Structure 1
Amino acid sequence: MKKVLATISVLFLLLTFSSATVFAGKPASDRDGDGYLSTVDCDDKDATINPGATEICDGVDNNCDDVIDEGCGGCTPVSEICDNGIDDDCDDAIDCADSNCTADPACSTCNPIPENCTDGVDNDCDDAVDCADSDCSGDPACSSPHSGLLYQDYPNNCMACHNTQFNEMADALHYTWVGDAPDMTNQPGTQQGKLTNALNSYCINILGDWPVCGSCHVGRGLRPDDAQADNSNIDCLMCHNADYAMARVRLPDGSMGPSSTDPAVLNGYLQNIAAPTRQNCLKCHANAGGGDGIKRGDISMSDITNTDPDFDVHMNMGGANVACQDCHAFINHKVTGKGSDLRATDHAAEVQCTSCHAGMDSGTGHTDAGLNRTDADRHIARVACQACHIDEYGKVPTEIHRDWEFHHDGEPADGVSGPGHPYSEMAANLTPVLKFWNRTSHNALLYETAVLDPVTGTYPTSRPNGDINDGKLYPFKYKTAYQPKTVADDVIISVDTFDFLKVTGDLDTAVQSGLVNMGYPANEPYELITTETYALLNHGIPQAATIDCAQCHSDFSVGSDNKLDLLGYKLKGPKAQVCNQCHSDKKLPRTQDRMHGHLQKGSGIGCGFCHSFERPERGLCSPCDPACVSEFVDTTPYDHSDVCN
C-alpha cells in the first residue's frame, strides 16, 4: 500500500511541476503535519515519509533522498503484508504465496502474480503448479525438475506437482490391498484382498502382523485403512527409484524408509526419479512368502541380472530385456493382469501374449512363422501359451510345503529355540501341474468353513475353476502346508505371525493369539491339517526351440492314467469298445501322430467318437451329426450320449 501511495505522490508532484506556469503563485504547505513543507517532503500526505525519516526496507523512499531502501545490505525482514507485491519477511514467498498469509482475507481467493517455478504454489492461478505451468517451460529448474528436491520435504514436494497421480495410486490395488473380486466364485460381491480377508497356505492371513506383512506395502508405514493415512502415506519412491526400493526397511518408529541418514544419499533418491524397473517390482514380488523365490516359483531376484535366455527369455538382460510394465501395463496406476490365486481385480484387462507375438493365435500363426508346428496351431483354442512354453519352474528353489510345527532349521516351534520362519521344504527344477482354468477361482477367505477334498485329502486354499469343457489348459505351481484349524467349526486359524516370527516362536502361543485376534477364546480347540494351493505360472519361459511336445504327448498307453488321461483326455471306454465301433479288431496306435491321423480321414473324425468331450471349433464330424456320422460308424454301434446330450 505504501508503494502505491508513493507512486501516486510522485505522479501528483509531476503534475504539479508540469503545471507550474498556472499555479506558480500557490504557497507551499505541510498537509501531513510532519514539519516539512511540500517543497521538500516527497509525500506530504504521509507523516512517516519526509527528509528527516529513517529509511526502512519496505520498498519506499522513506527519507526523500531519491534512493529506496539504501543501507539495508539485503532484505531486512518485517511482517509480511499480503497484498503489496513485496517479500516483506524475506522468505522468498510473496503475498498470498507466503504461508504466513493463508489466513489473511486478501488471500481468500487466488491473487495472480507471475508463476514462481520452484515454490510449489500456483502463483498465477491457472491450476498449474511450478514446472507443470507452461510459463515455466524455459526455466532452468524445469529442465531437470527433480534436481533441487530435498528428502526432508518428501512426499509433499512430489504431491505439489503430482496430485493427480497420488489420487490414482490411493485407489489402486498396490496401495489399497483390497478391492472388488468379480473373478472369485466364493463371495464375489465381497471386497477381497491381502489387507483384510485373504487366506492362503503361506503366512495364512495378515491379521495381527502389519509390521512384517506390511513391509512390502507401497505406503510409508501406516495401513491404507488407518484413519491417519492420507495421500502423504503413499511412498512413490518405492516404485520410482530402484536403489530406494532395495534400501527401504521398517524403521524403529514404525515408518518405512531407508536406514541411511546421509542427506546426500537421501536427496539422491528423490532427485533420480525413473519409471519402475524389475528391481523395484521384484524387491517385493520375488520375496513374497518370506524369501527369494519362495512363493511364486517363476520369478526370483535372479531375474534382475539374468542373461540366460533359457532361464527367462523375456527378462534376459542380454536379449529382449523386457520390463515388467511392458506386459503389465499400468492404466492410471492400476495394473493389468493377475494370477489365479489373487482375489481382487485392479484393472480388468488381461496380459496378452499376442500384444508382442501378433498373429500367433490366428490358428495358423505357428505355421506362418515358419515353425513347422501345425500341431501347435491346433491347440490354440484350448491350450494357453504358458502350458506349452513353461516346461519347468523353480529354477531358483521354491517352497513346496510349509510346516508350522517346526522352524526353518528343523527345530520344534515350541518357543525353546526362539522366533523364526516356519519350516519350508524347498525344491527346484519342477514340472508344472496342468489344469484347465476358465479365469475364475475359488480362493479361501478368513472365517470361511474349510472343506476337505476327499480325493486329495487336503483343504484347498486356492483352486482354479475349469475342466476339459470349460477353459484353457494352464501350468500351475502346486504346494501344501500343515497349519491349524478350529475343531468345532472348521475355520482355518490366522496364526499370529508376528508372535511366531518375531516374539515367541511358539506355535501354540501364536495360535492362541491368532484365535483372540479372530474373536475366539484363546483356548478354542484346534488341530493341524494339510492345505493345498495352486498358483498360475507366467514367467521363466525358455527359448521356443526348447519346447518339446513329448512333455505332454509321450505316453498313450491305455488305462495308465497318464498326464493327459488325468486331465480328461482318457478314452471314453475300453479299447475294444471304442475302436471296434469302426474297426473289427485293431491295435491301438501308441503315438500322438498315429492316433490323431483319424483327424484327416473323410470329414475328420470328431473327438467325441473316442473321448467324452467335443471340440466344435475344429469343424470335425461329431458323432451327434447325422449328416456325416455314417462316414465312420460302420461296425458296432456305440453310445455317444455323454457328448451328444
Structure 2
Amino acid sequence: MFDFEEAEKMKRLYLFAIFVTAAAALVISLQTTKAQDVKYSHSEYFEKYEGTSTCLGCHREEAEHFFHSQHYQWKGNAPNIVNSDGAKLGKMNTFNDFCTGPRGNWIGIVKNSRGEVLSKGCSACHAGKGLFPSETMDKAQLENIDCLICHASGYRRDLYQDDAGDYEWKPILWKNQEGLDSVAKRISAPTRAMCLRCHSASGGGSNYKRGDLEYTLADPGRDFDVHMASDGKNMQCVSCHAGEKHRVLGRGADLSGTDSPGKLLTCDSTDCHGAPPHKSAVLNRHTESVNCTVCHIPKFARDIPTDMARDWSRPVYNEEADKYTASIKLEKDVTPVYAWFNGNTRAYLPGKPVEKLPDGSVAMMIPQGSRDDPKAKIFAFKLHKGRLPLLAGRNWLIPITVEHFFANGQIDPAVKSAAKETYALDNISYSWIDTTRYMGIFHGVQPKANALKCADCHGTNGRFDWKALGYRGNPMQLKHPPRTKLP
C-alpha cells in the first residue's frame, strides 16, 4: 500500500534539499562576485610581495622615519624623566617589574617537557623581523622593519629557524605566494585590532600589563568605551596617537621615552573637548585640579583581569600548561589609585642605587607633582607591585632572563644570567626587594551617566585618600577650595 504520510515527508525533505542547495549556490555566487569586485588599497602597486623591500620601493622615506621612532628603537628622548640626565631611555636600556626586559630575552623558541612552545621572546611584539634594533641605519635594518604587522589587517606571522640556527619572524603564508600577495595588498592605517596585537598582549598575557588595553577595545560597546565603540565615535588608536613622520603622540606616566617631546595629548585640546569641557561651573572648577580620567574611568580591567602584583622570588608551576611563572596576582574590575601628576616621572635606572619609598619598596616609576604644584592634576593610576632581585653591595636592581625559566623554573640561574648580560658581573650575591610602579589609566572612558558622582570622592567612604593627596581631610567637609595652600 502506498504510504501517503511517508511520501509527504520525502517531498518535504526533497524540497528542503533543493532550497539548501540553491541557497548555498547563491552564497557562493555572491562571495565569488564580492571577491572579484574587491580592490585592495595596494592591488595596483605591485604584483608579488617580496618582503619589506617591496614596501621600500615607494616608502623608503617612511621607513627611515620609522627606523628612528620608539616603535622600532624601543627607546627615545626622555625629557619627562626627571633623572634621565639627557639620556635616551626605553625598553632597551631600562627594565620593568613584569617580564623585566628584552636583553637576554629577545628571540628564540622555548619549549616545555611536552615539546609545546612556551615563549618566542620579546621580539614577538617588536615591529621588526627579528634583528636587534641598531642605532645605525642600513639596508639590513630597514628591511628588518615589518610594515605589515601594523598596516595589513589579515597579516599573521610566526617565528622560524633556518639551517644556520638563526631566527626570523615570517608571514605564516611565506610558502603560499598567492595568499601572501593577497594579504600584503590589504594596506590601511593601523586599526584598533592591529595595535592591540601587541599592546594588549604585553607582559605575558592578555591585558596583564596595562590594565586599560583589553582586547575588548577591538570592537567595544559604548558602555565599555565611548570613544572607540563602533556604535559611538568609532575612533581608532591613531585618531589620538598619530603624530608626524611615524612618531606617536602621548606618553603614559610609566613610559621612559617619548616620540613627540613637547607635544601634549590632552582631552581639553581644541580638537577634542576644549576647555572648559562642562556646562557646569562646579565641574569646570574641578578640572583645574582633576584630570578627566578620574571621573570618566571609574574602573579598569573590566572584562579581562590584569596583573596587579608579580613576585619573581616565588616561582609557580602551572601543570596544565607545563610552565613556570612568577607568582602573579590577577584582579578584575579594579578601582584606580589617585596621585598628583605634572607630566614628569622619576624612574629607576639600571646601574643606579635604588631609592626607597616610605613603605620600603623600590620606586620603579613614580609620578611627580603635588597639591602645591600648579602644573599638576590628580590622575587615575594602576598601582603595580613587584618583587625583583637586588644586587648585594651595590643596591642595583637586576632583571631576569625569563625565557628558559618558563621551562625549568630555576630562578637563580635566570637572575645570574641577567646580571652577566646587564652588568657584565659574575658570581653575584643578591636578595629580593619589593617594587612599586604607577601606570596611567587612559582608556575605557565611560558614558557621562556612568561618571563618578560627588559622593564617590567626597562621601564618607569616598575613594580618595585625602591625606595622601596633601589635604588635612575631605575638602567638602573642611570647607576650603581644592588648590589653596596647605593650612
Range into which the TM-score falls when normalised by the shorter chain: 0.7 to 0.9
* TM superposition shift of 1:410: 6.1
1:508 is matched with 412
Q: Contact 2:338 / 2:464 at 8 angstroms: preserved in 1? A: no
Alignment of 1:235-246 (within 5 A): 235-244=146-155
1:567 is matched with 469
- The change in CA–CA distance for 1:144 and 1:469 in structure 2 (over 3 A counts) is closer
- Using the size of structure 1 for normalisation, the TM-score is 0.62
- The change in CA–CA distance for 1:418 and 1:494 in structure 2 (over 3 A counts) is farther
- The change in CA–CA distance for 1:386 and 1:346 in structure 2 (over 3 A counts) is same
Q: Contact 1:420 / 1:505 at 8 angstroms: preserved in 2? A: yes
- The change in CA–CA distance for 1:151 and 1:567 in structure 2 (over 3 A counts) is farther
Structure that is richer in strand per residue: 2
1:399 aligned onto 2:307: yes
1:366 aligned onto 2:278: yes
* TM superposition shift of 1:265: 2.1
1:467 is matched with 370
**2:378 partner SS:** strand
Alignment of 1:560-599 (within 5 A): 563-570=465-472, 592=476, 596=479
Determine the C-alpha separation between the residues in 2 that align with 1:163 and 1:391: 44
Q: Contact 1:251 / 1:259 at 8 angstroms: preserved in 2? A: no
Determine the C-alpha separation between the residues in 1 that align with 2:273 and 2:233: 19
1:299 is matched with 213
Alignment of 1:283-362 (within 5 A): 283-307=197-221, 309-348=222-261, 349-355=263-269, 358=272, 360-362=274-276
Determine the C-alpha separation between the residues in 1 that align with 2:455 and 2:316: 37
- The change in CA–CA distance for 1:239 and 1:512 in structure 2 (over 3 A counts) is same
Alignment of 1:484-563 (within 5 A): 484-501=389-406, 503-547=407-451, 548-555=453-460, 563=465
- The change in CA–CA distance for 1:556 and 1:230 in structure 2 (over 3 A counts) is closer
1:202 aligned onto 2:98: yes
- The change in CA–CA distance for 1:148 and 1:366 in structure 2 (over 3 A counts) is closer
* TM superposition shift of 1:360: 4.6
Q: Contact 1:483 / 1:529 at 8 angstroms: preserved in 2? A: yes
1:346-382 Cα shifts (integer Å, max 9, x gaps): 01212221347756522xx412xxxxx3321111211
* TM superposition shift of 1:520: 4.7
Determine the C-alpha separation between the residues in 2 that align with 1:357 and 1:172: 24
Determine the C-alpha separation between the residues in 1 that align with 2:270 and 2:307: 32
**1:251 aligned to which of 156, 160, 178:** 160
1:284-320 Cα shifts (integer Å, max 9, x gaps): 001111111000001111111222x222121212222
Q: CA RMSD in A?
A: 2.6
1:162 is matched with 59
The amino acid that maps onto 1:564 is W
**2:204 partner SS:** coil
Long gaps (5+) in structure 2: 1-38, 108-120
Determine the C-alpha separation between the residues in 2 that align with 1:448 and 1:151: 51
**2:361 aligned to which of 434, 446, 458:** 458
1:3 is matched with none
2:484 is matched with 614
**1:230 partner SS:** helix
2:387 is matched with 482
1:543-570 Cα shifts (integer Å, max 9, x gaps): 111112222111399xxx9622321121
**1:230 aligned to which of 137, 141, 151:** 141
* TM superposition shift of 1:147: 4.0
2:126 is matched with 217
The amino acid that maps onto 1:161 is C
Q: Contact 2:348 / 2:363 at 8 angstroms: preserved in 1? A: yes
Aligned residues: 423
1:14-53 Cα shifts (integer Å, max 9, x gaps): xxxxxxxxxxxxxxxxxxxxxxxxxxxxxxxxxxxxxxxx
* TM superposition shift of 1:226: 7.7
Larger Rg: 1
The amino acid that maps onto 2:307 is E
- Using the size of structure 2 for normalisation, the TM-score is 0.81
- The change in CA–CA distance for 1:429 and 1:270 in structure 2 (over 3 A counts) is same
